[in-house]
């Protein structure tokens, strides 16, 4: 086992790393100029207390805690792997709860917990291309959850003018402070509980197109290179987790 792996298995080290990550997210947000567009639908859902699923790409996870309205309960679906544990602890600093698992591996427990959360009025956070990709393609899991729960999916994204894009499968964007950033929402996408296979696929494709459109529009607004979807075929879609 490498020194890095040994260190992050130590609870005090993990706690320190997650606190540092949360502090950095707050610092970037506080030192940058932010604009929010098209939040009317999310505001209406929040104001009415209606649960919904917020969907955003895995590569745009870093600054998403600050798109969320304070004190509105939300559970994020996060995988069981080591990086997922670090992420769960980090978002916990922002008051977010987590559901551990995925809709593909050990998914029944996670599915039940997500449905239970939505039924009690909580919202759910989902990265429909995570945690392994293909990048910027929507897996079927998020559509299944929305269909079973009878709740809308609201696409969202962020972009920032100063960043480093990692050479990871998701082209993860690490933002820098003293930047210009934007959050963009899109109108809700709803799926009827009795939707057939054709209607379900249409909803999945609509979510994928919408998320790509607003994410690339945000990049262009910030004057940075647009990140394109992975060319992997749709057949590669699997269940999603963060």
Structure tokens given for 114: 């997500």
d(Cα 195, Cα 173) in Å, to the nearest integer? 35
Q: Do the Cβ atoms of 55 and 211 come closer than 8 Å? A: yes
> pTM value?
0.90
Give the pLDDT confidence of 78-126 residue by residue, as tens digits.
876 666 778 888 998 998 998 877 655 556 778 889 999 999 999 999 9
Structure tokens given for 85: 């544990």
Residue that the structure tokens 């729960």 belong to: 149
Residue that the structure tokens 């969320």 belong to: 68
CA angle 36, 39, 40 (to 5 degrees): 140
Checking DSSP bridges between strand 163-165 and strand 97-100, what pairing results, if any? unpaired
38 confidence band (pLDDT: 50, 70, 90)? very high
Domain extents in the chain: 3-236
Across 72-82, b (16+ Cβ under 10 Å) vs e yields: eebbbbbbeee
The CATH number of the structural domain formed by 3-236 is 3.40.1130
Q: Which of 10-19, 22-31, 99-108, 228-237 is predicted with the least confidence, judged by mean pLDDT?
A: 99-108
């Amino acid at each position: 086992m490498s020194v890095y792996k040994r260190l992050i298995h130590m609870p005090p080290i993990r706690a320190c790393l997650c606190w540092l990550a949360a502090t950095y997210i707050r610092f970037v947000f506080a030192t940058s100029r932010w604009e929010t567009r098209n939040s009317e639908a999310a505001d209406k859902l929040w104001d009415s207390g209606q649960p919904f699923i917020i969907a955003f790409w895995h590569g745009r996870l870093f600054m998403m805690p600050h798109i969320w309205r304070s004190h509105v309960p939300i559970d994020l679906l996060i995988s069981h792997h080591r990086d997922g544990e670090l992420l769960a602890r980090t978002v916990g600093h922002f008051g977010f709860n987590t559901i551990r698992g995925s809709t593909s591996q050990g998914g029944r427990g996670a599915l039940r917990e997500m449905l239970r959360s939505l039924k009690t009025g909580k919202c759910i956070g989902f990265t429909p291309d995570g945690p392994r990709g293909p990048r910027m393609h929507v897996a079927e899991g998020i559509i299944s959850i929305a269909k079973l729960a009878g709740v809308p999916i609201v696409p969202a994204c962020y972009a920032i003018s100063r960043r480093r894009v990692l050479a990871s499968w998701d082209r993860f964007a690490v933002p820098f402070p003293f930047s210009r950033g934007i959050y963009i929402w899109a109108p809700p996408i709803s799926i009827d509980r009795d939707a057939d296979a054709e209607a379900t696929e249409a909803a999945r494709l609509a979510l994928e197109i919408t998320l790509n459109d607003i994410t690339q529009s945000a990049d262009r607004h910030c004057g940075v290179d647009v990140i394109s979807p992975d060319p992997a075929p749709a057949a590669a879609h699997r269940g999603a987790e963060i």
